Amino acid sequence: MKRCACVVALCLVTTLGLCVPARAQGASTGDSKMYAEINFGPTLGHKSDAFVGGEFGYRVTPGLDVLVDISHMGNVGTTSLDDRAALIANFLGGTAAAAYKATTVGFGARYRIPISSSRVTPYVLGAVRVAHVKTEVEFTVNGTTIDPSSRGDLQLGGDLSGSTNRGLLVIGFGINVPFKRRFFADVGYRYGQIFSTTLDNEPLESIPTQRIILGAGVRF
pLDDT digits (tens, 9 = 90+) for 133-153: 999 999 999 989 988 877 766
The residue type at 58: Y
Spatial distance between the Cα atoms of 137 and 84, rounded to a whole number of angstroms: 10
Mean of the per-residue pLDDT values of the chain: 87
The answer to whether 101 and 136 have CB atoms below 8 angstroms apart is yes
Handedness of CA 26, 30, 31, 35 (dihedral sign): negative
Spatial distance between the Cα atoms of 135 and 19, rounded to a whole number of angstroms: 42
pLDDT of residue 30: 56
Give how far Cα 114 sits from Cα of 30, 34, 138, 176, Å: 14, 18, 49, 12
For the cut 70, the answer to whether the pLDDT of residue 4 exceeds it is: no
3-class secondary structure, 203? strand
What's the CATH fold of domain 2-219?
Porin (2.40.160)
Distant-in-sequence, close-in-space partners of 53: CB < 8 Å, separation ≥ 6:
38, 39, 40, 69, 70, 71, 72
Lowest mean pLDDT among 23-32, 69-78, 111-120: 23-32
**How many residues comprise the chain?**
220
For the cut 90, the answer to whether the pLDDT of residue 157 exceeds it is: no
Spatial distance between the Cα atoms of 111 and 124, rounded to a whole number of angstroms: 5
Confidence of residue 24 (pLDDT cuts 50, 70, 90): very low
For the cut 50, the answer to whether the pLDDT of residue 16 exceeds it is: no
Q: Which tops the pLDDT comparison, 157 or 207?
A: 207
Question: How remote is the C-alpha of 169 from its chain's centroid?
Answer: 11
The radius of gyration of the chain's CA atoms, rounded to the nearest angstrom, is 21
Q: Which tops the pLDDT comparison, 25 or 48?
A: 48
How confident is the model over 167-191, as pLDDT tens digits? 999 999 999 999 988 999 999 999 9
